[in-house]
């Protein structure tokens, strides 16, 4: 076995043949000197013509040959070359090589060592069939055959082509390996990113000191639980005298106590409970419960477990806890309200002297107490004569003629002084008190109509009134009793009132209008009604909500909404009343935009009956408009 020393980029060929003469012939074929005047040149000239010779010459690979005379030597050479990292690209293998293993076996063993090498079997006609050798030393695309005796050019051409292919295959394999490695790296980076993300998420929803869910996570859990049916308890715990521990033993001791308490909560809370640190020394516990008694018992148990002596950094620390709990039915309740009530109950527990659990009851809630009193007070307000109506003129755009008045209710209570209808109407709306109230308001307004010289009165009806059984008959009866024509009564209802049950509302409005009542859609633009849908309803006017009038000078959106409501109203043949008009600039803008009626402090505040009468008789709002520059001199109007 002999090997030539050659440049590193030379292609390594393995020649396996038992006949020394054959080796000479190979050696001559691949002799480096063959360049300019040798076989390669001759072949190139033949293939590409004479001009191409030099190009081929430059490009022609150099070969380094290893000569083996026996199959086993060749196998050893392949093994050694692989080990050295300089594998062969092509092996030329003779088939018959007595006394050693034959070419087929040699090929099989070499293939077993090196899957990349190209094998060229040099056979006589009587030797194995190519198929047999391919089976032993495949794959077929890496085995080639040259018949003996061979031409020099044939061998060189084969070696050149196979060596190139081998090289390209290797480059490809290297590129693939690199790619695979990069894929692995990317996957690792992806995994790391995912881990970072879940760590960040964990940090955002967990308390760093105790690793318990934090307030945000608790609110989320509460929100989720509130959607499902069934009773659940929201409890809040607060450590008693925690500040004392912090102040006397330091913050580290305080932290240790917090962790200890958190562990106790986890251990003693009912199965499946969410235990969260809401902040400071405050904890929240959320659990399903069969009822209020069971919930209070669970809280008592936790409070008892928290109460006693704890060891903190070798110090004995006395601690205790208070709890507030509320039990509500899930299935759409308000989770924030549950937490608020639990907090109210906790405050009550602390007031009661700490170390106890308190169940929320409505007496703890100032807001609820107020509502109850308003409700009760409203029931007697009529009898006590605490209610009255005030009237605010609605004027025509140009002449500023008082065409009507909106009736607005006022309640002056002995206990709280005046209460705004914006406060008490929604409370009345939650009970049947609204009907009694509404009837009184309508009757009062109808009385006023009898004395007004021709204007209409616009009366507000809340959604509950509107949906009342036989609303139409009821109103008609009142109007007949008062002896007034329906055409002088405008019914103001809001979008919410009609769009909850649009079909029925459309029918009700249609009948009211048939009887001659005027219909105004109040607070228009604030609800969810599609502008397009309102054409289904029998209406006389749209009242643009005052928030848009207010925003007109400041925000593009408000101005745009005002304009589109006016356009829509006119397209549908409706009056458009702009309410809440406070400034001259607004009046001008609304006139230009095309509002047909105006209402607001700029012309007059809502005033008591007597003053309203005076305005009604005066008919036109000019110099007298309360404290304002004379609307009569506002530009852009044609009087008449
Ligand atoms: P609303 O129907 O939108 O009534 C218009 C409100 O705007 C009235 O407040 C009125 O005083 C006020 N307002 C009028 N012009 C201006 C202005 O230029 N600037 C400002 N900032 N406000 C102006 P009020 O009287 O406090 O009534 C509040 C709400 O209470 C009413 O809103 C209505 O929803 C309800 N309400 C009032 N009276 C009754 C009633 O008799 N029955 C029913 N069901 N609801 C009523
Ligand atoms: Ca109104
Ligand atoms: Ca309104």
Q: Could you tell me the domains of the chain? A: 2-174 (3.40.50.2300), 215-364 (3.30.70.270), 368-623 (3.20.20.450)
pLDDT at 311: 84
Ligand 1 in reach of 91 Cβ (< 6 A): no
What average pLDDT score do residues 318-344 get?
Answer: 92
Above 80 in pLDDT, residue 479? Answer: yes
Q: Among 405, 407, 408, which residue has the most ligand 1 atoms within 8 Å of its CB, making it the best to mutate?
A: 408
Whether 638 has a pLDDT exceeding 80, the answer reads no
Q: pTM of the entire structure?
A: 0.56
pLDDT greater than 50 at residue 185: yes
How would you classify the pairing of strands 402-413 and 456-460?
A: parallel
More confident residue, 129 or 525: 525
pLDDT tens for 386-415 read 999 999 999 999 999 999 999 999 999 988
pLDDT (0 to 100) of residue 512: 97
Q: Which residue matches tokens 């290893």? A: 66
Degrees, nearest 5: CA angle 269-274-280: 90
Mean pLDDT of the chain: 87
Mean pLDDT of 603-627: 85
Give the pLDDT mean for 349-364: 87
pLDDT at 126: 64
List pLDDT tens digits, range 34-44: 444 445 555 54
Percent residues over pLDDT 90 in the chain: 61
Ligand 1 near 490 CB (within 6 A): no
473-478 — which CB contacts under 8 Å span 24+ positions? 475/442, 475/512, 475/517, 476/515, 478/439, 478/442, 478/443, 478/446
15: pLDDT strictly greater than 90: yes
In the prediction, which pLDDT does 558 show?
A: 87
Phi, psi of 74 (to 5 degrees): -60, -45
Contacts of 382 (CB under 8 A, 6+ apart): 436, 437, 440
CA atoms of 534 and 530, how far apart (whole Å): 7
* Alpha-carbon Rg for the chain in angstroms: 49
User: How far apart, in whole angstroms, are the C-alpha atoms of residue 49 and residue 53?
Assistant: 7
Tally the residues of the chain. Answer: 640
Q: How far are the Cα atoms of 199, 202, 211, 434, 635 from residue 192, in angstroms, in the given order?
A: 10, 15, 21, 62, 70
- Residue 506 CA to residue 492 CA, distance in Å, equals 14
Measured at the CA of 524, the angle between CA 523 and CA 529, to 5 degrees, comes to: 125
Residue 424 burial by Cβ neighbours in a 10 Å radius (0-12, 13-18, 19+): buried
Q: What DSSP designation does 208 have?
A: T
523 lines ligand 1 (CB under 6 A): yes
pLDDT band at 630 (very low <50, low <70, confident <90, very high): very low
Per-residue pLDDT of 137-152, as tens digits, reads 878 888 998 888 888 8
Distance 610 CA to ligand 3 centre (A): 23
| Residues 151-181: tens digit of each pLDDT | 888 889 999 999 999 999 889 989 999 999 9
More confident call, 8 vs 124: 124
Assign 639 a pLDDT band (cuts: 50, 70, 90).
very low
pLDDT at 622: 67
Instruction: For ligand 1, atom 7, name the residue with the nearest CA.
Output: 580
CA of 447 to the centre of ligand 1 (A): 20
Counts of helices then strands in the chain (DSSP H, E): 24, 22
Confidence of residue 604 (pLDDT cuts 50, 70, 90): very high
User: What's the pLDDT at 79?
Assistant: 96
The percent of residues in the chain predicted with pLDDT above 70, rounded, is 89
- Tell me the pLDDT band of 119, cut-offs 50, 70 and 90: very high
421 lines ligand 1 (CB under 6 A): yes
Query: For residue 601, how far is its CA from the centre of ligand 1 (angstroms)?
Result: 12
- Nearest ligand (C-alpha, residue 392): 1
Q: Is residue 350 very low, low, confident or very high in pLDDT (cuts 50, 70, 90)?
A: confident
By three-state DSSP, how is residue 105 classified?
Answer: helix
What pLDDT shows up at residue 257? 92
Q: What is the pLDDT of residue 6?
A: 44
Q: Is 213 in the pocket of ligand 1 (CB under 6 A)?
A: no
Are 203 and 294 a contacting pair, CB within 8 Å? no
Q: What is the mean pLDDT of residues 108-136?
A: 84
Q: Which two tokens stand for residue 245?
A: 């521990």
Sequence-distant (6+) residues with CB within 8 A of 339 are 219, 222, 234, 236, 284
């Amino acid at each position: 076995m002999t090997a030539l020393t050659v440049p590193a980029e030379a292609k390594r060929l393995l020649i396996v043949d038992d006949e020394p003469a054959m080796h000479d012939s190979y050696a001559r074929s691949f002799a480096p000197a063959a360049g300019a005047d040798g076989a390669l040149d001759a072949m190139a000239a033949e293939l590409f013509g004479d001009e191409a010779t030099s190009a081929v010459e430059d490009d022609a690979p150099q070969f380094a040959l290893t000569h083996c005379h026996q199959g086993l030597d060749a196998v050893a050479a392949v093994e050694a070359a692989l080990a050295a990292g300089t594998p062969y690209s092509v092996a030329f293998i003779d088939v018959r090589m007595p006394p050693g293993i034959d070419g087929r076996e040699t090929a099989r063993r070499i293939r077993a060592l090196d899957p990349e090498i190209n094998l060229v079997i040099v056979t006589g006609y009587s030797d194995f069939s190519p198929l047999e050798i391919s089976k032993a030393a495949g794959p077929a695309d890496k085995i080639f055959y040259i018949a003996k005796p061979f031409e020099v050019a044939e061998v060189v051409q084969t070696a050149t082509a196979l060596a190139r292919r081998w090289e390209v295959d290797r480059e490809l394999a290297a590129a693939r390996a690199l790619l695979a490695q990069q894929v692995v790296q990317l996957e690792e980076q992806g995994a790391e990113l995912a881990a970072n993300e879940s760590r960040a998420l964990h940090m955002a929803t967990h308390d760093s000191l105790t690793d318990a869910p934090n307030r945000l996570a608790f609110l989320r859990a509460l929100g989720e639980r509130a959607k499902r049916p069934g009773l659940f308890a929201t409890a809040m715990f607060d450590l008693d005298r925690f500040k004392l521990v912090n102040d006397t033993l330091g913050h580290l001791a305080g932290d240790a106590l917090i962790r200890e308490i958190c562990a106790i909560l986890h251990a003693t809370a009912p199965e499946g409970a969410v235990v969260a640190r809401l902040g400071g020394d405050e904890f929240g516990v959320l659990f399903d419960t069969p009822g209020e008694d069971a919930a209070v018992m669970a809280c008592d148990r936790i409070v008892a477990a928290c109460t006693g002596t704890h060891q903190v950094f070798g110090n004995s620390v006395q601690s205790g806890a208070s709890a507030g709990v509320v039990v509500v039915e899930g299935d759409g309740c308000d989770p924030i309200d549950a937490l608020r009530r639990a907090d109210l109950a906790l405050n009550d527990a602390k007031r009661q002297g700490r170390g106890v659990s308190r169940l929320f009851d409505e007496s703890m809630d100032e807001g609820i107490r107020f509502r109850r009193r308003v409700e009760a007070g409203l029931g007697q307000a009529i009898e006590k004569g605490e209610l009255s109506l005030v009237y605010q003129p609605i004027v025509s755009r140009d002449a500023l003629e008082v065409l009507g008045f909106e009736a607005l209710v006022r309640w002056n209570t002995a206990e709280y002084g005046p209460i705004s209808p914006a406060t008490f109407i929604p409370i009345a709306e939650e009970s049947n008190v609204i009907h009694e109230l509404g009837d009184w308001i309508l009757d009062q307004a109808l009385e006023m109509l009898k004395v007004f010289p021709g204007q209409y009165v616009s009366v507000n009806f809340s959604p509950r009134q509107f949906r009342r059984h036989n609303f139409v008959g009821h109103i008609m009866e009142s109007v007949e009793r008062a002896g007034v024509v329906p055409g002088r009564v405008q019914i103001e209802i809001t979008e919410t009132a009609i769009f909850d049950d649009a079909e029925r509302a459309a029918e009700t409005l249609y009948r009211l209008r048939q009887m001659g009542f005027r219909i105004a859609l109040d607070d228009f633009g604030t609800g969810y009604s599609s502008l397009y849908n309102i054409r289904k309803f029998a209406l006389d006017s749209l009242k643009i909500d005052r928030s848009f009038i207010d925003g007109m000078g400041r925000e593009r959106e408000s101005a745009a909404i005002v304009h589109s409501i006016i356009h829509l109203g006119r397209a549908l043949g409706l009056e458009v009343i702009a309410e809440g008009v406070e400034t001259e600039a607004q009046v001008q803008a609304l006139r230009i935009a095309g509002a047909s009626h105006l209402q607001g402090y700029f012309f007059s505040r809502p005033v008591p009956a007597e003053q309203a009468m005076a305005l009604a008789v005066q008919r036109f709002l000019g110099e007298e408009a309360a404290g304002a520059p004379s609307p009569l001199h506002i530009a852009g109007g044609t009087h008449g």
